A and B are shown apart, each in its own frame.
Chain A
């Protein structure tokens, strides 16, 4: 059989096994539905969705001037935000990296001076904002509110005649000192600033309607502060949402369902005679094993991404690094296909294989963080958990979600999962081959 026909035959075997799984109501329930219920239940038990509510913002006030203090207090009154002060820029950055805040606004030293020299420099003070790039929506909302607050600040500044005069005086002093401006122009600017000062004094007098002369629209197109957004790569050291913990557990139960459903398929094929038909067809043993493995892989991927999709869409679980999560799920699926292949050839009967497989898998899941996350386990259990591929699967998925592992940190769990996959597949195939020799 040619390679293309071989792949078609493998796919036919795989699709049949997936279809048989979906048609077995009990197996389908325990593979696809139960893990979702489990993860939601444990998500609620672990604390539900703590994220809902105000957006956490840190503010580091490095200028202790009255305008800066006023600006910070105006920020703290913004609706929908919970603004807390931090002592330094480093503290603010740490808060963002650790996921405790979506952003940190740095009110730099010289903020007030910058605001005062707004006419002299043509632009307001630079205000760095450290943001978590994974929270684009929060950041966008914050950016809009900051602009609003800065205009309010500017308006306040202008509506205070003394402050306005101070700003104009600074501009006049700067022009007077300048060597690049000739005398006639200096006189012209002097007259201009005098007129502006007079205008400001008059403009701030209430009109006949009792309202000030400046309106909010008067300064459109002008930005009184330069908000400089800086991406801070989040260093997740803890989940921000209880479902981020329960999702990998749900995945463990989903993978468990897949493994237990598939370990009995080879033995059942042998029992009911369908293996004779598969083997008498022009397909090799490798293609039969490959088809079974493909079915397991497809099911494992399906259950993992079903859970991820549901929890990302409805339970606020974030996927900051989708490519890494794809890699983690692929390696997890491969590892459990390996486990499946090994367990499938051990039992002679369908029931025997399923029973033995279920026991082994249940123990693996329990010690690997299937019910109690490994980080909640007592110290003596943590080394034991390393013997379970579930532990490494959870580690890889957490690494790609709330732990925010880089590729170096992901190497170990992925390497272990790859080892389990290769070992299980090779051992399982060898045993299958031996069993087939009869």
Chain B
């Protein structure tokens, strides 16, 4: 659906994106993960034609580069910064964005109604967005990306700073969209979200794509060993292993009656350990 080939973008001496090549398949939810300043937003900007790459190409399957109006009509974006007008109501915001995509009349009205319903904002549709909670604003931001029913959605941290209820609504909406066959590129800092939602994940840092695969593949390849913690009355034990169950059985079989095992814990590798393993633990600003 979306093919990025050897994309490069620099701002002066700073290389924001350094030769990223990536293919997002039709109908999949692709998670793009990376620490702050990794190059995610620049990659997304180039993917929707907002930023011109220094080199490399972006291609939307069957449409071409997103430099023309027609191709941009295939993409819906929910930027990280809330791209809505506080002084307009939910309906007015969506009507404006719909008109920019050539919608009008009955069709626009129906779409606005449907999308507001989808994100759970129908009861507050005529209130000004400025009076919405953070979560409602995020949902409206997502709704604005859906108004023209694009086949490709770019959702840049759509759950940043929202309450659990709104997050749940957004995640459900993304799942529904995925079921409806939309292709979604999803950036987030919440690893559990990516783990739950994404068919495949790519980790990006310092402008380079470090790895791509399903969550299981990445965990398998880059997650490291499981950590087993054995708790005893007098002495605790902690070790890394590829076969935690076997190791625990061995420990329990040879346990000393004078110092019995009081607890066993297994910390399996997950996407977060993959992420930290790939990008390091140093703070990013």
Contacts and interface: CB of A to CB of B under 8 A. Distances in A.
B105 to A, nearest CB: 11
B142 to A, nearest CB: 12
A16 to B, nearest CB: 5
Given A16-B85, A20-B87, A272-B81, A277 B144 contact: yes
B49 A280 contact: yes
Interface string A264-293: 000000011110111111111000000000
A198 to B, nearest CB: 90
Given A273-B82, A437-B52, A282 B87 contact: no
Contact of A279 (B50, B82, B87, B96): B50
B102 A280 contact: no
B234 interface: no
B102 A8 contact: yes
Interface string B64-102: 000001101101010111111111100010001101111
B243 interface: no
Nearest to B74: A282
Please report whether the interface of chain A is mostly helix, strand, loop or mixed according to DSSP.
helix
A23 to B, nearest CB: 5
B51 A438 contact: yes
Interface in B159-193: none
A294 to B, nearest CB: 14
Contacts of B92: 16, 19
Contact of A281 (B51, B79, B81, B97): B97
Contacts of A24: 87
B73 A277 contact: no
A20 B77 contact: no
Nearest to A11: B99
A282 B88 contact: no
A437 B50 CA distance: 8
B198 interface: no
A279 B79 CA distance: 12
A50 interface: no
A295 interface: no
B274 interface: no
A273 B50 CA distance: 12
A279 B88 CA distance: 19
B91 to A, nearest CB: 13
A19 B92 CA distance: 10
9 contacts: A9-B102, A13-B96, A272-B82, A273-B79, A273-B82, A277-B83, A278-B100, A281-B97, A283-B100
A7 to B, nearest CB: 11
B69 A16 contact: no
A437 B83 CA distance: 19
Contacts of A271: 81
Contacts of B84: 272, 274
A137 interface: no
A16 B70 contact: no
A330 interface: no
A282 B72 contact: yes
B50 A280 contact: yes
A1 B88 contact: no
B102 A1 contact: yes
A273 to B, nearest CB: 3
A23 B92 CA distance: 13
A273 B145 CA distance: 13
A313 interface: no
Nearest to B41: A276
Given A8-B104, A20-B88, A282 B77 contact: no
Interface in A1-54: 1, 5, 8-9, 12-13, 16, 19-20, 23-24
User: Which one of B88, B100, B144 has the greatest number of beta carbons of chain A within 10 Å?
Assistant: B100
Interface in A411-438: 437-438
Nearest to B73: A282
B48 interface: yes
Contacts of A281: 72, 97, 100-101
B70 A282 contact: yes
Interface in B82-134: 82-88, 92, 96-97, 99-102, 104
Contacts of B80: 273
Among the interface residues B48, B82, B85, which one has the most CB atoms of the partner chain A within 10 A?
B85
Given A5-B102, A273-B83, A277-B83, A284 B88 contact: no
Contacts of A1: 69, 102
A291 to B, nearest CB: 9
- In this complex, the member of A9, A20, A272, A277 whose beta carbon has the largest number of chain B beta carbons within 10 angstroms is A277
